[in-house]
Amino acid sequence: MIKKLRIYLNIFRLRTLILSFSGILLGSFLIDKGSKLDYNIFAMALVTTLCLQILSNLANDLGDFQKGTDNKNRLGPERGMQSGLVGYSEMLKLIFSFTILSLVSGLYLIYLAYHIIGIISSIILFIIGIFAIIAAIKYTIGKSAYAYKGHGDFYVIIFFGLVSVLGSYYLQTGYLNPYIILPATSSGLLAAAVLNTNNLRDYDNDKKYNKNTIVVKLGVKKAKKYHAFLIFTPFVLNSIYLVFNRFSNLQFLFLAILIPAFLHYRKVYYTKNLKEIDSELKIVSILSLLISITISIWFLF
């Protein structure tokens, strides 16, 4: 049982789950000063997002294995099906289970927020949730898998940024502050930076197996310049947001994160052995979380 649990925790890819927390934290804690945070909605929004991300990770494991992309030449950590520790039928059961969990938790989340958002918004959010489940599964599974067409970054920005941050904000308030699109986009870009780091590491193998990620389309050199856009644009967007929506000067502490962000980019830019970029995945995830915490810090004081 313990061994199986360890296998599952490995294929859930825990180090990527920080991104889910970052978006929900940011959207929930940027509500207007004086507003009361509903911690039940916050907790269920987090559970729903985590279920969706794990679902996406599981589907990615299956899809890449079926297409031959996960093989002995791949530089990243060994995946569940690639290693033989998880069979095809078992993976299908896990994907089905997390599809149901995502659906049920999403419905309960809407139920909790119903008194705030009303019937029309509840229906719209339910439809968005269905699209999120489909997007999670279709990332690498099937002939129309969008990760193999270079569309992964777009969907990551949409779901880890706009849907996550704007959605959690709306569930708490029942309305949207238009300025929230700035930190929401910031969150999405940082999530895309995690994906880009992953794709830089896997460039050679992805190219060989026709997984046409942005990195494969651009080439490593241009993809590293693109990485600079993903890493540093969020600092500009969040600064603009705080100029118009600052609740506390403490929020500008996020600018101190420019230092580790620069060190991260320097490592990515100058690293020639792409395998060594793997360690930077968790760094980008932590940067995203730290930015969310510092911008949201006013709420805690």
Q: How far apart are CA 10 and CA 2, in angstroms?
A: 12
Instruction: Say if CB 105 and CB 44 are below 8 A apart.
Output: yes
- Who wins on pLDDT, 206 or 46? 46
Q: How far apart are CA 29 and CA 10, in angstroms?
A: 30
Q: How far apart are CA 167 and CA 149, in angstroms?
A: 27
Which pLDDT score is estimated for 1? 61
Cα torsion angle, 279, 280, 281, 287, sign = positive
**Average pLDDT for residues 129-141, to the nearest whole number?**
92
In percent, the amount of the chain with pLDDT more than 70 equals 92
Q: Cβ contacts of residue 270 below 8 Å, gap of 6+?
A: none
**Average pLDDT for residues 145-162, to the nearest whole number?**
91
For the stretch 216-275, pLDDT in tens is 999 999 999 999 999 999 999 999 999 998 777 888 889 999 999 999 999 999 999 888
pLDDT at 72 exceeding the cut of 70: no
In percent, the amount of the chain with pLDDT more than 90 equals 60
With cut-offs at 50, 70 and 90, classify the pLDDT of residue 32. confident
Which pLDDT score is estimated for 71? 60
Q: How far apart are CA 155 and CA 148, in angstroms?
A: 13
Going by the DSSP 8-state scheme, the letter that residue 145 receives in this structure is -
Which pLDDT score is estimated for 217? 95
Q: Cβ contacts of residue 67 below 8 Å, gap of 6+?
A: 140, 145, 148, 209, 211
pLDDT at 299 exceeding the cut of 90: no
pLDDT at 194 exceeding the cut of 80: yes
Q: Cβ contacts of residue 89 below 8 Å, gap of 6+?
A: none
With cut-offs at 50, 70 and 90, classify the pLDDT of residue 163. very high
Q: How far apart are CA 223 and CA 228, in angstroms?
A: 9
For the stretch 101-134, pLDDT in tens is 999 999 999 999 999 999 999 999 999 999 999 9
Q: How far apart are CA 10 and CA 78, in angstroms?
A: 9
SS3 38: coil
Going by the DSSP 8-state scheme, the letter that residue 263 receives in this structure is H
Which pLDDT score is estimated for 142? 79
**Average pLDDT for residues 15-43, to the nearest whole number?**
88
Which pLDDT score is estimated for 83? 66
On average, the pLDDT of the chain sits at 89
Among 56, 18, 35, 53, CA closest to 169: 35
Instruction: Say if CB 91 and CB 80 are below 8 A apart.
Output: yes
Tokens of 297: 């810090």
With cut-offs at 50, 70 and 90, classify the pLDDT of residue 181. very high
With cut-offs at 50, 70 and 90, classify the pLDDT of residue 70. low
Instruction: Say if CB 105 and CB 45 are below 8 A apart.
Output: no
Which pLDDT score is estimated for 74? 60
Which pLDDT score is estimated for 208? 84
DSSP output for 43-100: HHHHHHHHHHHHHHHHHHHHHHHHTT-SSTT--SPPPHHHHTSS-HHHHHHHHHHHHH
Which pLDDT score is estimated for 292? 92
pLDDT at 169 exceeding the cut of 80: yes
Q: Cβ contacts of residue 123 below 8 Å, gap of 6+?
A: none
- Who wins on pLDDT, 100 or 81? 100
Which pLDDT score is estimated for 255? 94
Going by the DSSP 8-state scheme, the letter that residue 232 receives in this structure is H
Which pLDDT score is estimated for 221? 94
